[in-house]
Amino acid sequence: MPLSQAPLPLLEHALGEAIKKLDLDPSLAQITPTNNQRFGDYQTNAALIAAKELKSNPRDLANQLIAELDLEDYCDPPEVAGAGFINFRLKKNFLEQQVASLLHDPRLGIPLSASPRTIVIDFSSPNVAKPMHVGHIRSTILGESLLRIARFLGHRVISDNHLGDWGTQFGKVIYGLKNLPPQAELAEESPIEKLVRLYRQVTTLEREDAQLRDVVRKELLKLQQGDCENRKLWEEVVTLSWREFEKQYALLGVSFDEHLGESFYHEALQPLVQRLLLQGIAKRSQGAVVIFFPHHPTLHDKPFLIQKSDGAFLYATTDLATLEYRVTRWHPDAIWYVCGAPQQLHFEQLFESSRRLGFHLELRHIAFGSILGEDRKMMKTRSGDNIELGSLLQEAIDRAWKIIDEKNPLFSQEEKKKIAQIVGLGALKYADLMQHRMTDYVFSWEKMLAFQGNTAPYLQNAYVRSRSIFRKDESLQSFFPSTLLLDEEVERTLALQLLQFAEVIPNVLVDARPNILCLALYELATKFHRFYEECPILKAEKKVKESRLALTEITSRMLQLGLNLLGIDVPEKM
């Protein structure tokens, strides 16, 4: 059985050949899927554009193109529509064979990348002993999904959590640990919450007390100069925090190849600045060390500060050292930074500086918008604090538990717990990923946990439904035919959607947009529900029954795969 081929490249290839024969611009060989059956399955406006250029009649040109198109194997004869569009409808038996072949393909027709690359993804990257904010949550969810998709497509991906473990916050935390009375109830708290509390307390105290600010700064300086006691406290704090972060990552199904935090680069900073000065990339300016971009269109008045006049290094310095380290260690073709939009300038400056250093790889800032509360302001807790990731995850699970418990009071406690975790965390992740990443969206538990609409529970439910028929009778799985019968329009629509995942998934990486995959999954689930409601399966005559079972099977595998690529699990019942 030949592996299936995504229709789009076949069509574009044929269109390209026809365009060549007519001596038209080869870049016009572009076809897009339609979202309305009236226009066929695919459409091109190549004739329209070419005719404008040549000042000729677009419909005539479309007809000439059609005359040259060699597509009999896959398409019904293409048609000219409207002002000069060409519509393509795939041949029924082509679709039937292609979709059937997905049954024997563990990749479900999705090809490996023809040019696999080495990609470092820098994501999550929270700060130790500082409150994690929703930006870190978005980065974690988005980064994990991009990582899974890139790996699935055959790229070598290294994930590196650039932990903020070496900032000025340690002055405050160390001062707090040494001087503030350890309160009884602190023992009840998670270490992360305790550290964040200390950080906040000292910040408040400092506001009224200039002298204290000095003491705190000295603690930081002592740490940076290698003082034993402070070093030990710092180590404890970082270890404890990482242990907590790891628990949350485990719950989220996220893991990192490396978590080389800022502290890892500490020793490299002085020599790096020295080298930048020697090579003339950086300059001294009023006692500080700065990289200027005098001829850059947007950065000419935005210098990059890499060492303050008091000798302190900055976030920028560490990021440059980090970039250099990654290039030397992994020789990547690309580094992607999944980090909120407010850091746009920082990354522009970083990337420009690294080009000066002679690094010519793809550097991408994968930015994203904010999560807003019901009041449309940055999401906070009731008391105005940043959201703590651990409690957010717990709330997602608790809320899902209530829904599952109500729907299925007879499930065992164990089952309810497991399903609540899958559904609750799935809902949280999906609500984020389904948005265009630059959108600021309003966080709503009700919306994300709804069983109807574009939500994770809706997709998970479609999966459960698709499995239910086989759960009742496992032997049904042995009745898969070598070709399908797509006589009903709902069957055909579902089949086409299944084939198109091969076109959708690689597209996600073009602009780092998992929302494209979310939309395709949502459409798949909707088309599946329609098929399932309109087409009887078990009561159908043998050949039709086998074909419908096969469609159901492929749908469930595709739902599972697609959700998995988003970092979302599926329950077997819910």
Question: What is the crossing angle of helices 413-433 and 389-407, to 10°?
Answer: 120
Output 123 or 430, the one with its CB closest to ligand ARG. Answer: 123
Output the CA torsion sign for 481, 528, 427, 473.
negative
**Residue partners of 216: CB distance under 8 A and separation at least 6:** 171, 172, 175, 202, 206
Q: Report how far apart, in Å, the C-alpha atoms of 66 and of each of 7, 47, 50, 59, 72 are.
A: 17, 10, 14, 10, 11
Task: Tell me the window of 58-66, 119-127, 148-156, 480-488 that interacts with ligand ARG (CB under 6 A).
Answer: 119-127
Number of residues this chain uses to bind ligand ARG (CB under 6 A):
9
Contact 461, 451 (CB under 8 A): yes
Q: What is residue 478's three-state secondary structure?
A: helix
**Identified binder of ligand ARG from the candidate list 43, 125, 169, 555, rule CB under 6 A:** 125
Output 437 or 557, the one with its CB closest to ligand ARG. Answer: 437
Dihedral angle over CA of 194, 195, 197, 198, nearest 10: 120
- What's the min distance (Å) between Cβ of 232 and ligand ARG? 23
Helices (H) and strands (E) in the chain, counts: 19, 13
- What's the min distance (Å) between Cβ of 181 and ligand ARG? 30
- What's the min distance (Å) between Cβ of 200 and ligand ARG? 17
Output 357 or 537, the one with its CB closest to ligand ARG. Answer: 357
Output 160 or 546, the one with its CB closest to ligand ARG. Answer: 160
Run of H or E residues at 160: strand 156-160
Which x/- pattern over 335-354 shows residues binding ligand ARG (rule: CB under 6 A)?
Answer: --x-x---------------
Quick check: 263 binds ligand ARG (CB under 6 A)? Answer: no
**Identified binder of ligand ARG from the candidate list 96, 219, 244, 319, rule CB under 6 A:** 319
Quick check: 327 binds ligand ARG (CB under 6 A)? Answer: no
- What's the min distance (Å) between Cβ of 124 and ligand ARG? 9
Instruction: Tell me how many degrees the CA angle 467-417-395 measures, rounded to the nearest 5.
Output: 115
Pairing state between β 288-291 and 32-33: unpaired
Quick check: 565 binds ligand ARG (CB under 6 A)? Answer: no
Residues 161-220 that bind ligand ARG (CB under 6 A): 162, 164
In sequence order, what DSSP letters do the residues of 300-367 get, joined into one string?
Answer: TT--EEEE-TTS-B-HHHHHHHHHHHHHHHH--SEEEEE--GGGHHHHHHHHHHHHHTT--SEEEEE-
Residues 94-113 that bind ligand ARG (CB under 6 A): none
Quick check: 122 binds ligand ARG (CB under 6 A)? Answer: yes
Dihedral angle over CA of 380, 383, 387, 393, nearest 10: -120
Task: Tell me the window of 122-130, 241-249, 276-284, 379-387 that interacts with ligand ARG (CB under 6 A).
Answer: 122-130
Task: Tell me the window of 120-128, 241-249, 364-372, 519-527 that interacts with ligand ARG (CB under 6 A).
Answer: 120-128
Output 49 or 367, the one with its CB closest to ligand ARG. Answer: 367
Run of H or E residues at 121: strand 118-122
Quick check: 127 binds ligand ARG (CB under 6 A)? Answer: yes
Residue 216 and residue 96: Cα distance in Å, rounded?
Answer: 71
Task: Tell me the window of 121-129, 146-154, 171-179, 247-255 that interacts with ligand ARG (CB under 6 A).
Answer: 121-129
Output 339 or 520, the one with its CB closest to ligand ARG. Answer: 339
Which residues bind to ligand ARG, rule: CB under 6 A?
A: 122, 125, 127, 162, 164, 319, 322, 337, 339
